[in-house]
Structure 1
Amino acid sequence: MRQTLLLPLLVQLISSVGQLVSATAASGNINGGQLRRIWLQDHCSAGICTDVEIGRNDYVILSHAPIAKQLMLTFLNSSIAKIPHLMFDTFPDLQVLRMENCSLETFEKPQFEGASNLMGLFLGHNRLKDIPKNIFLGADNLATLQLQHNQLKVLHNHSFHALKELKELTLADNQLEQLPLGLFAGLRKLIELSLSGNRLQTLPRGIFDKNLNLTRLNLSRNRFTVFESELLKLQMRLAILDISGNILHELTLNFSKLDLAVAHGCDLRRLTVYGVVNELDLHNNSLTELPHIPQAGNVSGLDLSQNPLGNLQGNPLRRFTALVRLNLSATNTHELPEGLFKKQTQLQILDISSNAIYSLKITLFDNLKSLQYFYFQQNNWNCDFLQLLMSSFVKRRDISFMEDVTAPELVDDYVDGVACWYESDRASKKCDGSSGSSDAAMELSIVRNEIKSFTELIEKKFVKVYRMLDEMKLKL
């Protein structure tokens, strides 16, 4: 009897709950969020989705049924506070997801369930502040993860847990101040890692010990004052290391072999390199002498531009016998000693531009049998020597060069587009190719160079002022 009375009440209760749920869904409120059906078919074409709006509290249903064979999705002109947790149920075959510059703020657990086909995830230029522990569970085959230009401050030992296939990770331009020791421990296949543009001062020893396949590492634009090669003692495949933009007055690199070491803009004053390095980019530092490299015979590319090296006395290039590219631009050079390039028979590219060189001994270039590109513009060339250089070396060997940008009113003449000046004493202007020039001529060349630099600076300021005036006119 009691069961007979309770049955109608139970049916009525279920009916009331159903009506309440329907009303809640109709009004758009579930758990403080909004039940919104977003039909991506209306926003997407050929894998490009535009004008998609998803709020942080929205509960999103993307489609009635799974959409098969969609391998790539790119969101443009969209504001997506979170990745809908049904994304990979709706697109089970998705391999590449690009949500760059979409105002992404957070992840939802479980975020990547069903994402076993995902291979590339691009989330750069968003507002992410944290990578929760174990958030990538389900993305077992992810190979590329880009998180640059977010607001990441903290990472955990298990932030990248489950990414056993990851080969490329970009964390550049965030706000990271320190990293936990086990952060990269599970990334055994990691090849390329970028941590540039953060606030790192040190790295825990052993942080890369499990990343034996690491080939390219970018630590540029951080706050390192000391770099320890010991951090990478197990990385036998490391080929490219970039530590530029840190303040490293003295630096010692000790690797068995590197293809490229980049350390520009570090205020370097002394550099020692052990092991084999093929290319060194050291521009814009404070070097007054060439780096000490016991195995300098392996160096094929050397960029020393924008360092106060001066005139390079004492034949400092004698051990760099394999040089193919050499940049000595803007090194405060007034002359180059005879025999400087005696050993550089393989040199193909030479840049001595933006110095204050007046003339040289033409025999300086006798051994440059392989030279193809020679940049020597923006110097204080004597016109007669420059004509000799062009006719007896540059044009005779069909070597490529660049024309000058010096204003015509600041020079006496041009030789094939390269600015030059005549000596004040016209009777002695004939040039025999010797480097001997009077002290007065040297002083004159220095003054000319200073006037040229000052004039170029004034011109830049005028250009900036005119641009500001144009902008003000447009606003008015």
Structure 2
Amino acid sequence: MKFLFLLACATAVLHTHYSGHAAQLRRVWMQDHCHHGICTGVEIGRNDYVILSQMPIAKQLMLTFLNSSIAKIPHLMFDTFPDLQVLRMENCSVEVFEKPQFEGASNLMSLFLGHNKLRDIPKNIFLGADNLHTLHLNHNQLRTLHNSSFHALKELQELSLADNQFEQLPLGAFTPLRKLIDLNLGGNRLSAFPRGIFDRNLNLTRLNLARNRFVVFESELLKLQPHLKQLDLSSNELHDLTLNFAVVESVLANNCDMRKLTIYGYVYELELRNNSLRELPHIPHAGNVTSLDVAHNPLGTLQGNPLRRFTGLQRLNLSATGMNEIQEDVFKKQTHLKLLDISANSLYNLKFPIFSNLKSLQYFYFQENNWNCDFLQLLMNSFVKKRDISFMEDTTEPELVDEYVDGVVCWYESNKNTKKCSGEGLSEAALELAIVRNDIKSFMEVVEKKFVKVYRMLDELKMRL
């Protein structure tokens, strides 16, 4: 990049009030810092006076600043680079916006100012950036917004204010953003919104409210959003949550200590990991749910076939839900299921009719259970391998298990009274064979130990002789 970018930095004798002293200036040639749109080692203090080239520098579409300390964006940045479309000043210690900050920024489409030290977004500060589509202000120190903070951003589609210090927002904070699609407010201190805050954001499709302080969430706030695709409420304290939407494609509510969930309207994907659910969500239109993830919830054995209404499921995660058995007809309605995860439970064996309706299954994760080796061998041969279904191996240390069957851990049990792996799908002959195999294995282990002891004694005698 060949351009003149002169930076004159005042010394410590330059004060913000008029002292009458002449300032000492030093010039920095930016071509020494910038190559192919990447600028490194640039330093601009808060009180430094920045002089840009008097001649515009054309066809520079993107500037990225790395390893730089820039307290403020130079005033004439966009006059000097009239074609600039993307400006990345992340992790540059930016502290303030100064008016007129964005004069001449009509071509700017993406502005990334994450991981800086901004504390305030002044009113009307974005005047001039009329075509900005993407604005990231995440990981700053922002505490408040004004009703006119985003004035003029009529084309903005993506806004990230994540990981700041907002406790509340004014009613008109997002009113100018009529084309807003994606809003990220995760990682703040919000516990409530003024009613009507999103009424002008009719195109809003993704809203991230994760890692805030919501105890109650009113879905009425999003009653005017007909195309809502994703709502993330994860890591809030939502013990009893009721959502009422016409349509929402995906709801994420992980790590909420949730005990009860009710959803009216149509929802397609639900991610509810690591909560306190003892029963599946109540969803009148459950037949439309295609993905349900309830891993790490204390659901236990799914008594009464609670999945019977979820007839459209394609992905189901029941990992670490405290199951020690599965009822025979629990997956009877899941003919479209492509992925099933029952890993990290306490399952010993299953009845084979469980799998009879899983005609579409492609991925089956069942590692980290207490499988009986004979049952596991039958499961592999008669279902998993036969149907060419993908599965995952265990990572348990070999000395802690009896055996691996195709990489999945299992244990042998010699007590015939505890054998429960026959089910309706196994013959009496197969059951007897499994029992005999276990008895032979136990006998051989005893004999092996005795032979080892005898050989050891013989070695000792040999040494003495």
In structure 2, the residue matched to 1:3 is: none
**Separation in 1 of the partners of 2:89 and 2:266?**
41
Query: What SS does the corresponding residue of 2:306 show, helix, strand or coil?
Result: coil
Alignment of 1:113-128 (within 5 A): 113-128=103-118
Q: Distance in 2 between matches of 1:26 and 1:401?
A: 66
Q: Corresponding residue for 1:373?
A: 363
Q: Does 1:67 align with 2:75?
A: no
Mapping for residues 428-443 of structure 1, pairs under 5 Å: 431-433=421-423
1:177 to 158, 167, 183: 167
- Tell me the secondary structure at the aligned position of residue 377 of structure 2: helix
Of Structure 1 and Structure 2, the greater helix share is in 1
Give the whole-Å Cα distance in 2 for the aligned partners of 1:187 and 1:135: 15
Matched, 1:411 2:376: no
Q: 1:233 aligns with which of 223, 245, 250?
A: 223
1:172/1:420 Cα in 2 relative to 1: closer, same or farther (>3 Å)?
same
- Equivalent of residue 38 in structure 2, options 32, 41, 48: 48
Structure 2 counterpart of 1:419, one-letter code: V
Q: Report the Cα distance in structure 2 between the residues aligned to 1:167 and 1:216, rounded to whole angstroms.
A: 11
Q: What is the aligned partner in structure 1 of residue 178 from structure 2?
A: 188
User: 2:353 and 2:188 mapped to 1: Cα distance?
Assistant: 49
How many angstroms does 1:107 deviate by?
0.9
Tell me if 1:257 matches 2:250: no
Is it true that 1:81 corresponds to 2:33 in the alignment? no
**Once structures 1 and 2 are overlaid, which stretch shifts more, 302-311 or 34-43?**
34-43
Matches of 1:25 and 1:310 in 2, distance apart? 69
Distance in 2 between residues matched to 1:311 and 1:262, nearest whole Å: 24
User: SS at the partner of 1:317?
Assistant: helix
Deviation at 1:52, TM superposition (A): 0.3
3-state SS of paired residue (1:388)? helix
Structure 1 position 27, deviation (Å): 10
Q: Name the CA shift for 1:430/1:192 in 2 (closer, same or farther; >3 Å).
A: closer
The Cα shift of 1:86 comes to: 1.2
Give the 3 Å change call, closer, same or farther, for CA 25–73 of structure 1 in structure 2.
Answer: closer
Could you tell me how far apart the structure 1 residues matched to 2:298 and 2:144 are?
40
In the alignment, does 2:279 pair up with 1:289? yes
For residue 138 of structure 1, the aligned residue among 128, 131, 137 is 128
Deviation of the 1:428 alpha carbon? 7.4
Q: Which segments of 5 or more consecutive residues in structure 2 lack a partner in the other structure? A: 1-8, 18-22, 432-465
CA contact (8 A) 1:28 1:35 kept: no
Q: Distance in 2 between matches of 1:129 and 1:254?
A: 36
State whether structure 2 residue 80 is matched by structure 1 residue 103: no
* Structure 1 residues 233 and 427: alpha-carbon distance in aligned structure 2, compared to 1, 3 A threshold: closer
CA gap of 1:27–1:297, structure 2 versus 1, over 3 A, is: closer
1:384 to 356, 374, 382: 374
One of 349, 356, 374 as aligned partner of 1:359: 349
Tell me the residue number matched to 2:316: 326
Q: How many angstroms apart in 1 are the aligned matches of 2:104 and 2:274?
A: 49
1:222-271: CA deviations, max 9, x gaps? 00000001000101111111011100000011111111010111111000
SS in 2 for 1:384: helix
- 1:30 Cα offset (Å): 7.9
- What SS class does the counterpart of residue 364 from structure 1 fall into? helix
Aligned to 2:306: 316
Contact 2:166 2:190 in 1 (8 A): yes
Cα distance between partner residues in 1 of 2:271 and 2:108: 37
User: Residues 432 and 59 from structure 1, CA distance in 2 versus in 1: closer, same or farther, beyond 3 angstroms?
Assistant: same
**Equivalent AA in structure 2 for residue 303 of structure 1:** D
Tell me the C-alpha RMSD between the 2 structures.
2.1
Alpha-carbon contact 2:353-2:425 (below 8 Å) kept: no
**TM-score, structure 1 normalization:** 0.84
Using the alignment, how far apart are the partners of 1:409 and 1:433 within structure 2? 30
What are the ranges of 5 or more consecutive residues in structure 1 without an aligned counterpart?
1-23, 438-476
Q: In 2, are the aligned partners of 1:140 and 1:165 still within 8 Å (CA)?
A: yes
- Is the alpha carbon distance of 1:229 and 1:428 closer, same or farther for their aligned partners in structure 2, counting shifts above 3 Å? closer
Aligned to 1:213: 203
Distance 1:425 1:95, change over 3 A: same
- Mapped partners of 1:351, 1:100: distance in 2: 40
Structure 1 position 350 matched with structure 2 position 320? no
